[in-house]
Amino acid sequence: MPNPYLILAVVIAFVANGFYWNAKGSNSADVRWTAKIQQQRADAEAAARVKEKQLQETADAIITKQDQKLRATQRNLATALDSLRDRPLRPDATSPTTSTAPACGTGAGLCKQDAEFLTREAARADSQRVGLAACYEYIDKVK
């Protein structure tokens, strides 16, 4: 007659063996799942880096073009201000007006200070316009 303790030991060994292989198989599935998730994450990161590089190249090209336009605006401003150096100065408010004083407010002959102010404002407006155009260009290319 078989020993009941021996039968119990064999049954316990089979049950323990089942638990062991179940845990090992479950661990293997977890490792495969983790590897799959990590691979997807790496692929997404690589795609994001490629997209980031493209966007940065686009931004760099637009900024280079904007800098060239701003330098041209500054050169034009310097040239315009230089051309205004021979204009007459605005008469002092405390000095009596004479008939030989230039008419500074007519537009036909602006005084030096007024012409310089308006020229600088036009250059500032050009700078703002160039910046706005660069923003629109970047937005259009990013879409």
In the chain, domain spans = 4-87+103-142
| pLDDT (tens digit per residue) in 95-118 | 665 555 556 666 567 888 888 999
Over residues 53-70, the mean pLDDT reads: 95
User: Does residue 71 have a pLDDT over 80?
Assistant: yes
Mean per-residue pLDDT of the chain:
85
pLDDT at position 36: 93
pLDDT at position 10: 83
Contacts of 107 by beta carbon, 8 Å cutoff, 6+ apart: none
**Residue 90 phi/psi, 5° resolution?**
-70, 135
More confident residue, 94 or 37: 37
CA distance 3 to 5: 5
Tokens representing 85? 């150096």
User: Does residue 21 have a pLDDT over 80?
Assistant: no
Packing angle of the helix pair 112-142, 4-83 (nearest 10 deg): 150
Q: Which position has the token pair 């990590």?
A: 38
